[in-house]
Amino acid sequence: MAAKLKRALNISLLNSTSVIIFGLLGLLFSLTFFSPQGLLICLLITLCGLLELQGRALLLSQNPRARSLLIWSQIALLLVITAYAAWQLAVVNPTDILNHLPISYQDMLQQRLAIDHTGLAFLIRRFCRMLYYSLICVSFLYQGGLALYYSRVTSRD
C-alpha cells in the first residue's frame, strides 16, 4: 500500500509541476500577445496545477480531503481544456489564418497541394477541427484516467 501512495505522490508532483509550468508559460505568451482569452485559460490551467499540488500536500499529511482534491483537479483541468477547445472550434476562421500567412507560403501550399484558395481554407478548417477534437479526446483519456487512478489509489478501503 505504501508503494502505491509513493507512486501517486510522485505522479502528482510531476503532473502538477508540468501543468503549472505550462500554465505560466502560456500566461507569459498571452501577455506578450495581449490575449485576454489566453490569459484566462492559462490562469485556470495554472490554478488546476496548484489545486493538484495542494492535493498532493494533503496526501502527504494523510488528510482525507486529498482524494477529492486530486480527483477534482483533474476534472477541472479536463473542463478547462474542453471549454478552450470548444471555444476554438466555434471561433476559428480559416480565412483569418490564411491572411496571417505570407503570400509566398499560400502560393507554395496551393501549388504543392494542387488546390485553390478555397480548398486551402477548407483544408485549414479540417486541420483545426482535427486538432481541437484530438485535444478533447486526449485530455479526456489523460485527465480522466488520472482522476480514476487517484480515485483508486487513494480509496478509503
Which residues are CB-neighbours of 32 under 8 A, at least 6 positions away? Answer: none
Position 156 pLDDT exceeds 80 = no
Task: Give the three-class secondary structure for 35.
Answer: coil
pLDDT score recorded for residue 149: 92
How many domains, the chain? 1
Q: What is the average pLDDT value for the chain, to the nearest integer? A: 88
* Cα dist from 121 to 87, 115, 134, whole Å: 19, 10, 20
Give the global pTM: 0.84
Position 82 pLDDT exceeds 90 = yes
Position 15 pLDDT exceeds 90 = yes
pLDDT score recorded for residue 1: 58
Q: Average pLDDT in the 22-31 region?
A: 90
Domain that holds residue 133: 2-153
